[in-house]
Amino acid sequence: MTNYLIKGAKPLGGDAVDILIEDGRIAAIGDSLSATGAEVVEAAGLIALPGLVDLHTHLREPGREDAETVETGSRAAALGGFTAVHAMANTDPVADTAGVVEQVWRLGQEAGLVDVVPVGAVTVGLKGERLAELGAMADSAARVRVFSDDGHCVSDPALMRRALEYVKAFDGVVAQHAEEPRLTVGAQMHEGDRSAKLGLTGWPAAAEEAIIARDVLLAEHVGARLHVCHVSTAGSVEILRWAKSRGVQVTAEVTPHHLLLTDACVEAREGVGGYDPVFKVNPPLRTDADIEALRAGLADGTIDAVGTDHAPHAVEDKESEWASARPGMLGLEQALSVVIETMVEPGRLDWAGVADRMSVRPAQIGRLAEHGRPIAPGEPANLVLVDPAVRSTVDPAALASRSRNSPYAGRDLPGRVVATFLHGAPTVLDGKAQK
């Protein structure tokens, strides 16, 4: 295995040091290090972070390889600075058995670009009727610890309670897609003045908040771990803050797009037509007030993590009229850039905070022992080197994903991932994927 000597990087934005990687681990950190035979990586001016961990990725394989595969999604993740991603269960067939989660896990091993961690479905076929093989998936080679029907809410409270009780046995967590389905029938965008103006059925904030309120009470009652996917409203942040103050074992994530974009994107504006389905997403883009609350919640730790909800779609599923388009956006390659723009540059998070929200806490929630570790001798060499000074315009055609539904197309965003190391091996060097 090749050894690497990273010269002049700044761990968490601190003083510049050299980092020696040997046999997949950090062997030494110091000034003017040398190592015979090691490949040198010049990193002057670059920030070193622990490899990023995504709790919420849709890799589409098996079933929708026209939109994404484990390999192409893994490449996008590595280019975004990620060393581990949790692959959501809404594949075809659904990842509701040990066999399917092991298939996804093995595909990730073969790709070798990130650690692909399968998420198991909570219910059979994501139908919300009976529990899936939670124990079998937990005991499989994939060692599933996160379970989610994402895309569908586990809306039956008795079933949700049983799921929370069940996963306690192996320290698992239920990741809930918080959406009361009876409040979102036919919903197309955030319910508010703009939805009324545009003539689109609205998605009320209460549909999300009602499920979060219910589930934190259930989690408290049974003493189980609950994770809330893609939080999008100010009210949700307040409920989470209240629940954490009571000691409820609840964690939550926010997506990059909910930190940056609002429902105004749906409306026509100078030079841009309205009703562009690239901005259709579940939950929908919200208001400026919601964005402010989400940023504040991420800054103070009420929201634990940034989860991309990377949702690639084939052209025919997005280039259509708004009502028939599928919801979802790409997110892996621009996630760190959006966090730099919305959180680092305004001073809401320092680089240690970025590492905490994008690596340390996500790894803890997913129970990934080899990820989210300190940059220190003896630790696994899962690292990302970032140039915060570079800005670039997002070109969907240049992305690694098989799909092109990026909401950031044409936007000038800060930060460039220069290198990513997975278990000591480079998956990205000089901004280019190595496989």
Which positions are catalytic? 309
Give the N- to C-terminal CA distance of the chain in Å, as an integer: 16
Question: CB-based contacts of 293: which residues, under 8 Å, 6+ apart?
Answer: 233, 234, 237, 238
For 294-318, what is the HEC assignment? HHHHHHHCCCCEECCCECCCCHHHH
In the three-class reduction of DSSP (H, G, I as helix; E, B as strand; rest coil), residue 279 is classed as: helix
Contact 265/190 with Cβ under 8 angstroms? no
Question: CB-based contacts of 58: which residues, under 8 Å, 6+ apart?
Answer: 68, 73, 87, 88, 90, 309, 310, 311, 312, 328
In degrees and rounded to multiples of 5, residue 81 shows phi and psi of: 95, 10
In degrees and rounded to multiples of 5, residue 70 shows phi and psi of: -60, -40
Work out whether the CA dihedral 207, 174, 232, 93 comes out positive or negative: negative
For helices 288-300 and 234-245, angle between their N-to-C axes, nearest 10 degrees: 30
Amino acid identity of 392? S
Please state, as a whole number, how many other Cβ atoms lie within 10 Å of the Cβ of residue 291: 20
